[in-house]
């Protein structure tokens, strides 16, 4: 379960965590991360491969990274996230630390402990940071919620059996049930 701490933290505190302990930092609040489930990891792996193969087939210069991968959404020292999957179109944002700025496409796989964080806190954070597209893949509800912030449209909800067109790519469709 993700628990907010009461103190104000910075990225220095993230890097000072003991080995093996993971957390995210949102506006100075530290959220500890629980280990992911097998289904969570399978979805991260399959989605990363599917999107990565598509990028490669198009000779794209985009980069895709599964968690743990550091994303620093702003220039402040108080926000650090590790999206389950990050797709970065502007490779100038990448350095040895991770991604400095917002990825173009983020996917989060919902865990029981991350439900509120993924649907509320991160949704708002990603929308305000300039992420173009955000998917929340929810294995418990067998649905995916898609936000296309550039279109300023209402979120779309897809059942796992439905094909979803990736908004940042014209010809990439993904059916989550085919990945399980």
Instruction: In whole angstroms, give the CA distance from residue 55 to residue 166.
Output: 12
62-76 confidence digits (pLDDT tens)? 999 999 999 999 888
Q: Which residues of 93-126 are buried (b: 16+ CB within 10 A; e: fewer)?
A: bbeeebbebbbbbbbbbbbebbbebbbebbbebb
pLDDT(5) > 60: no
* Contact criterion met (CB below 8 Å) for 124 and 130: no
The residue behind tokens 């300039």 is 130
125-161 confidence digits (pLDDT tens)? 999 999 999 999 999 999 999 999 988 889 999 999 9
Task: Say how many C-beta atoms besides its own lie within 10 A of residue 19's C-beta.
Answer: 4
11-34 confidence digits (pLDDT tens)? 999 999 999 899 999 999 999 998
């Amino acid at each position: 379960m993700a628990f907010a701490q009461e103190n104000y933290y910075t990225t220095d505190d993230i890097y000072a965590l003991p080995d093996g302990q993971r957390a995210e930092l949102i506006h100075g609040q530290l959220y500890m991360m629980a280990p992911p489930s097998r289904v969570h990891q399978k979805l991260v792996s399959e989605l990363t491969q599917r999107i990565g193969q598509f990028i490669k087939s198009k000779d794209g210069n985009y980069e895709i990274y599964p968690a743990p991968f550091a994303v620093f959404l702003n220039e402040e020292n108080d926000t650090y996230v590790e999206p389950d999957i990050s797709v970065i179109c502007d490779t100038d944002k990448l350095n040895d630390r991770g991604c400095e700025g917002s990825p173009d496409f983020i996917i989060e796989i919902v865990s029981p402990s991350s439900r509120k964080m993924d649907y509320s806190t991160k949704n708002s954070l990603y929308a305000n940071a300039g992420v173009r597209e955000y998917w929340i893949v929810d294995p418990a509800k067998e649905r995916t919620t898609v936000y296309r912030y550039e279109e300023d449209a209402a979120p779309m909800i897809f059942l796992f059996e439905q094909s979803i067109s990736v908004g940042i790519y014209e010809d990439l469709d993904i059916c989550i049930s085919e990945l399980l």
